[in-house]
Amino acid sequence: MLDTASIAFPGDPDYAAATSVFNLKSPAHPAAALTATCVADVRAAISYASVRGQGVRVHTTGHSAGAATSMTGDLLIRPILSGGVEIDPDRRLARIPAGTPWSAVVQAAAPHGLAAPHGTSGTVGAIGYLLHGGVSLYGRKLGLAANHIRSVELITADGHVRCVSAAEDPELFWAIRGGGGGFGVVTAVEIDLFPVPDLVAGAAFWSWEHAEAVVGAWYDWTLHAPDEVSTSLRVMNLPDLPEIPPMLKGGPVVCVAGVALAAAAARDLLDPLRKIGEPVLDTWQECGPEAVPDVHMDPDEPGTFIGDHMLLAEPGREGIAELLRMTGAGSGSPLIAVELRQLGGRLAEAAPAGGALNRLDARLAYMGAGVPELSGTPAEIIEHCDKVRAALGPWDTGQTAPGFVKGLDRPRGHLSEADVRAVERVRARVDPDGLFRGDAMPETVIVP
């Protein structure tokens, strides 16, 4: 039974640790919180909240805190379960306990020549990322990361420990992969790994004088790009901070970053770009999978991140020009980073045994973000996000990828109306009293 002394309240050091979030835009303020280190802690905490009529909320790293609803009155469980990542190299599987960041998974798999379908940051919690779909750095070859989950271990509102898979409660297994949360506390997942014998990754940066030519060449290449390569195009207005390389400061730069699972495919992309102009920084190289989480140079310290996201249909050169006009030199943009993530390939294909979200029907994912203490006021950042949204509106599909949505005030929609109803039926079955209702991702837009 959980010692009630383990429950922390506002003002306690343990409360601050359990409620800490990566995105400081939306700090968590539950009525009480705890860091659970074992399954027994989770079960006891669920019982504690249930008898008191409290809702139960769950987070680990808090990267998606900006899109979470208020936790007022709830009990927050931060599962940081012991045991570490377990790798089965023969079956190419990894078992990941709750609270594990992607960096730990990558480091555990790499000695076996295996990689995991992670995103651009090693500090992101692996389980939350996976359950929200996951647009991996290997995504065009592998599809959504959620489609590589083999089983999910969770504790539901009745306190039962369940292991769900395609064979065991396939309905719940379907819903939990992309259905928006609110099913229970996930304590571990098992995922597929994949071999990476020929890997090239990195990022190349050009000064703004080359931006139009570099962006145009990159975009033309994406129209016929092989699935073995997943890239992003970024416009970056970086602040004058000590940790930022000097050549990337003092004005916007344009960056092409990504991962290629074939060296020849990487050359086909990079050689024409390098002929346009010499990059001010170029880190593309042959590497092992342990280097990939650092490719995008995402921040590894908490901060206040305000931004927007859309999935775009084919924007053409016209749409790309609009993005540069709104975010590049002379635009007055307070956005530190703007990105077009290449989609297509397997990301656009529905997996036969996939979850509630198993494909993204779009060509590009747009993300833009500012940091108030570095690039403008919150109001200025939001206002400019709205201007970019309007400029890209002709190519907006109305859909989003759940992990990219940064705020409750931002449009979102990734399930059909029929799928939303089906997910709700599963949620009602496993949580009839709505104990985890607060963690169910609100759907403010329904995809046709």
CATH number at residue 51: 3.30.43.10
- Boundaries of domain holding 40: 4-79
Q: How far apart are CA 223 and CA 217, in angstroms?
A: 10
pTM value is: 0.94
- Whether residue 255 is found in the same domain as residue 395: yes
Query: The CATH number of the domain where 142 resides is what?
Result: 3.30.465.10
Q: Tell me the C-alpha distance between 227 and 224, whole Å.
A: 9
In a shared domain, residues 191 and 205: no
d(CA 95, CA 85): 6
Q: Are residues 61 and 109 in the same domain?
A: no
Mean predicted confidence (pLDDT) in 161-172: 97
* 448 belongs to a structural domain: no
CA angle 304, 382, 380 (to 5 degrees): 90
31 and 170 share one domain? no
**Is the Cβ–Cβ distance between 296 and 341 less than 8 Å?**
no
Residue 228 and residue 272 in one domain = yes
Q: Is the pLDDT of residue 445 over 70?
A: no
Q: Which domain-ending residue is among 51, 79, 107?
A: 79
Say which amino acid occupies 255.
Answer: C
215: in domain: yes
Residues 217 and 322 in one domain: yes
Phi-psi region of 184 (alpha: psi -120 to 50; beta: other; left: phi over 0): left
For the segment 317-373, what is each residue's pLDDT rounded down to a tens digit? Answer: 999 999 999 999 999 999 999 999 999 999 999 999 999 999 999 999 999 999 998
| Nearby residues of 327 by Cβ (< 8 Å), 6 or more positions away | 235, 237, 252, 333, 335, 338, 368, 388
Q: How far apart are the first and last CA of the chain?
A: 47
Same domain, yes or no: 14 and 59: yes
Position 443 confidence tier, pLDDT thresholds 50, 70, 90? low
Residue whose tokens read 């669920």: 46
| Spatial distance between the Cα atoms of 67 and 413, rounded to a whole number of angstroms | 13
CB 162 within 8 A of CB 344: no
31 plus 176 within the same structural domain: no
Q: Which amino acid is at 140?
A: R
How many structural domains does the chain have? 3
Residue 62 lies in a domain: yes
For 209, the token pair is 């004088």
Would you say residue 220 lies in a domain?
yes
Q: Are residues 358 and 270 in the same domain?
A: yes
Residue 317 is part of a domain; what is its CATH number?
3.40.462.20
Condensed to tens digits (0 to 9), the pLDDT of residues 179-196 reads 999 999 999 999 999 999
Tokens read off for 267: 């050359």
